[in-house]
A and B are shown apart, each in its own frame.
Chain A
Amino acid sequence: MKFISDKNLRKWLESLMGIGSLIAPMDLGPGLTLFSQIRDPGDVNLEYETTPIPPKDLFFPSSEALFRFSPSRGYEIPEIDGEAFLLGIRPCDALGIRLMDFPFLSEPADPRYERRRRRTTLIGLGCIKARPECFCTSFGIGPFDASNADAFLIPVKGGFLAEARTEKGAKALAAAELEEASIPIPKPPEVPSIDVGAVREVALSLFNSPYWERLADRCLSCKLCAYVCPSCYCFDIRDYPIRDGAERIRSWDSCQSPLFSRQASGYDPRQTKASRLRNRFYHKFSYFPGEFGAFGCTGCGRCVRYCPVNIDVREVLLAILRGEAKVA
């Protein structure tokens, strides 16, 4: 472990900004911290708790042009170049990016996502405080889990303990003035854990349970749960006419939307709110693990925090695990 003192932090951030763009948590208003492009290192807030929106949009923007096309000029594709540093990413959000790697990097890889992924160095940040909704330890990570980051920082008195995990991370740290760490690694905060091991098998037996109707009764189909989720990645693609051509835009979408799976004939395999809400949980805890071997949740607790009607993924998990969902 190395040590970056508070004094050296600013210099380090300045030198990172000399290499590429720096994206880090920044206060945008009272109580609102979001990952933003940093122009002044003084704007970086490394004491934030989880941001409302995870930094997934750095790789998979909420809305982006796939291309422009016109018969006279052919295709124009927005460039993605330069280096980027994503600083201060929490372990749950770093896991979220790893989870999105599965669909986006599997054959055929999504070229935009891949390019953004390749150009970005993830500099993780340990959590010295857990929020009441946090349950990341259920998914094999924890407040100091560095495994999905290129480099990792743990806040300590007077600065940060720093560790490089990959070559990219070492390169980023090389731009800092590092001291040998003399401070021991502090104890991470306690984060409650749900033993999710059996959830996949149990869920399969509860597919037709009335539990889903009951749960969905209060769901508003507002899609907030998906937009704030670091591992949700449903998308839509639409064309917009522009002068002498077309722009094709991809944007975030959610399987909670009533028209999401409705076919042209009017037929919809998921006609009810219950079947859509069930799909969200089944995708995360049954289909995604079946396809990629990992649960599609990071335990960040954002959906718990922001769902306007308090639909709580932890409660759903416990209900499934207890087989409770079977009871009408």
Chain B
Amino acid sequence: MPKGSDPFLPLLAEVAEVRDLTPDIKLLRLSLREGRIDYRPGQFAILSAFGVGEAPFTFASLPEEGLEFAIRRMGTVTNALHNLGPGDLVGIRGPYGNTFPLEDYEGKDIIIIGGGIGIAPLRPLIHWFIKHRGDYGSLLIIYGARTPRDFAFSDEFDAWAGAGGARLELAIDPPGSPDWRGRVALVPAVVKELKPSPKNSIAITCGPPIMIHYVIEELRALGFSPGQIVTTLEAKMKCGMGKCMRCNVGDKYVCKDGPVFTADQISRLLEAF
């Protein structure tokens, strides 16, 4: 196999399992044909649908759980990936990007705030915090989706909420789902209502840019310092190695310096986000 010195050659993987998570998000479980990929939560890989193209996706599982990606259908590559079945071939290169400094969060209360497909990078964190309950304080998970059918990983909700001292708050955007008993509110509004305490805590958020923007605003209003707020940024990417110049936000590369940033770092980025 020519892999090794050529960072543009993806490793080959077979689709081991495909699962519908929502009407437009599928979980792809991959098994590498050869080689290995060591990664840490927060990092991402660039997946190939050969003949269609490449796109970046966060590792949605902890390394010991296998290679899983939650992929929302958006356009050409994601469509092609959605059309794959068990045994089909995918290319994968990575890992790229930085990681959540999970050790630094030890002893702190954790607030996880996700919206839509933004749950993908947060899922390995949730698994991590549940696995290492003793090392962290309380765990609050706020997760918003458009409709009840749009929650990914709903089969794991009991486990998320059931972990000692954990709390899961779900919210859908617009009203009009008669069977829904939970909240109908935008994610930033849920943050405002629940008023998590900034005292000795870390808030980690991921979702659409507009959601991140207002979540940061609400957290700031509650007294969270910009260093206590962590998010992942999205950007258009081609190479993943800081060469194609597509993902720079001011003088930072989302692919190398991110995708994990603190609100403090974001406030110093030259370009609006």
Contact = CB atoms under 8 A, between A and B. Distances in A.
Interface of A: 66-67, 69, 71, 74-75, 77, 103-104, 106, 108, 110-111, 204, 207, 233-242, 245-246, 248, 250, 253, 255, 260-265, 267, 269-270, 275, 279, 282-283, 286-287, 290-291
B219 to A, nearest CB: 21
B157 interface: no
Contacts of B235: 261, 263, 269
A75 B9 contact: yes
A238 B209 CA distance: 26
A32 to B, nearest CB: 29
Nearest to B271: A269
Main secondary structure on A side of the interface with B = mixed
Interface string B1-42: 110011111000000000000000000000000000000000
B119 to A, nearest CB: 15
A265 B54 contact: no
B159 interface: no
Given A239-B54, A265-B208, A282-B270, A260 B246 contact: yes
Contact of B50 (A245, A263, A286, A287): A245
A322 B238 CA distance: 37
Contacts of A111: 5-8
B251 interface: yes
Contacts of B271: 269-270, 275
Given A240-B51, A261-B247, 6 more contacts: A74-B1, A237-B8, A237-B239, A245-B50, A263-B234, A275-B271
A104 B249 CA distance: 20
Contacts of A241: 51-52
A236 B245 CA distance: 9
A200 to B, nearest CB: 10
10 contacts: A66-B8, A110-B243, A111-B8, A234-B245, A235-B244, A242-B51, A265-B208, A265-B209, A282-B250, A291-B251
Contacts of B74: 264-265
Interface of B: 1-2, 5-9, 48-55, 74-75, 78, 89, 91, 208-210, 234-236, 238-239, 241-251, 270-273
B241 A286 contact: no
Contacts of A279: 248
B56 to A, nearest CB: 10
In the A-B complex, the 6 residue pairs with the closest CB atoms: A246-B51, A241-B51, A264-B74, A246-B50, A287-B251, A108-B7
Contact of B8 (A67, A233, A269): A67
Nearest to B12: A74
A255 B245 contact: yes
Contact of B244 (A66, A236, A283): A236
Contacts of A262: 236
Interface centre among A66, A75, A204, A255 (most CB of B within 10 A): A75
A225 to B, nearest CB: 14
A110 B78 CA distance: 27
Contacts of B244: 234-237, 253
B8 to A, nearest CB: 5
A135 B41 CA distance: 48
Contacts of B208: 265, 267
A267 B5 CA distance: 35
A201 B219 CA distance: 33
A252 to B, nearest CB: 11
Contacts of A282: 250-251, 270
A309 to B, nearest CB: 23
A269 B266 CA distance: 13
Nearest to A268: B236
